[in-house]
Amino acid sequence: MKRRDLFRISTAMGLAAALPALSQARAQTALAGPLKPPAEGKIPVAFLLSDNAVVIDFAGPWEVFSNAATDGCNCTPAFELYTVGASAAPITASGGMTILPNYTITNAPAPKVIVIPAQSTREPAVLEWIRQASRNADLTMSVCTGASLLASTGLLAGKSATTHHGSFKQFAMDFPDVRLKRGARFVEEGNLASAGGLSSGIDLALRVVERYFGRTVARNTANTLEYQGQGWLDPMSNNAYAQRRISTEKQPLCPVCDMDVDKASAASSLYRKRTYYFCMAGHKQMFDADPAKFIASLP
């Protein structure tokens, strides 16, 4: 499965009956308070993976946490990392990478941090593991469309979150009880956090390091990685995605997900004397079933 397709994976899971209004406001996201590290020992971090997990979504935070150290020589790693799968079977991540989980959801150690990248699973047993493991975790964080998996547990209901900018519309339709924040690099609320697409996970992970050990340790970690991004210092730094794009004759957007489409090859539908183009056949089918719902959501 291509990464672009994964941004749309939730379409196969069904849509909410109504499309909520999407906020255009760029209200600042309040920063969460510090997290308390253990008196001794490392902080266990579980990376929940299934087929089609997007590599940068989990590899970026993995590198951040594996390079975070509380001394000046990186000699004392602060986190203990492991992967968790629904079963012990190999997982095929994006680009064909094969991963053998360290643990399954039935025998994984209790984590203090849970990382949920974009992936395709919505298994009830996986959702229940997230719910139960999050109860005693310091933080459960999603990256990219991993927010859809986290939202599917019900834990985000009534809370704020963000996701990949290409999935804003889909996420809002699927989870009308979650307050979607456009333009957010990451969102923190209680013991939950969500990052925007792909590289945003690196910034959220650095922010987690800062919450545990302070800004100096987080900066040292970023320097070790030769990472010059400053998004972890500003939760609303994805301002390029704060405003919805508008479909034009020259560059049409799919009315279902707002993704770019190629008029020459895209499927299309005629509705009220206007032609709409689609990024995939499934989105055309969804549009044709209830065009008014999607037209009402257009800017």
Give the tens place of pLDDT for each residue, 15-29. Answer: 333 333 333 334 445
Quick one: pLDDT band at residue 292, thresholds 50, 70, 90?
A: confident
* pLDDT of the residue at 245: 83
pLDDT in tens, 84-103: 999 999 999 999 999 999 99
Joined tokens for residue 3 = 């990464």
For all residues of the chain together, what is the average pLDDT?
90
pLDDT in tens, 108-152: 999 999 999 999 999 999 999 999 999 999 999 999 999 999 999
Cβ atoms of 84 and 44 closer than 8 Å: no
SS3 186: strand
Alpha helices in the chain (DSSP H): 3-6, 55-67, 124-135, 146-152, 168-174, 200-213, 215-224, 281-289, 291-297
pLDDT in tens, 205-260: 999 999 999 999 999 999 999 999 999 999 999 999 998 888 999 999 999 888 89
* pLDDT of the residue at 299: 63
- φ/ψ of 62, rounded to 5, equals -60, -45
Interatomic CA distance for residues 131 and 83, integer angstroms: 17
Position 64, amino acid: V
* pLDDT of the residue at 166: 87
Quick one: pLDDT band at residue 4, thresholds 50, 70, 90?
A: low
Joined tokens for residue 106 = 């039935």
pTM across the whole model: 0.86
**Domain 3-13+38-241 carries which CATH code?**
3.40.50.880
Q: Going along the chain, which residue ranges are E strands? A: 43-48, 79-85, 91-92, 98-99, 103-104, 113-116, 139-143, 160-161, 179-180, 186-189, 192-195, 267-271, 274-278
* pLDDT of the residue at 18: 33
Cβ atoms of 164 and 118 closer than 8 Å: yes
* pLDDT of the residue at 237: 96
Interatomic CA distance for residues 270 and 287, integer angstroms: 11
* Parts of the chain belonging to CATH 3.40.50.880: 3-13+38-241
* pLDDT of the residue at 256: 86
User: In terms of C-beta density within 10 A (0-12 exposed, 13-18 middle, 19 or more buried), how is residue 107 classed?
Assistant: exposed
Q: Check: CATH 3.20.20 for 245-299?
A: no
* Parts of the chain belonging to CATH 2.30.170: 245-299
Instruction: Output the CA angle 127-130-131, nearest 5 degrees.
Output: 90
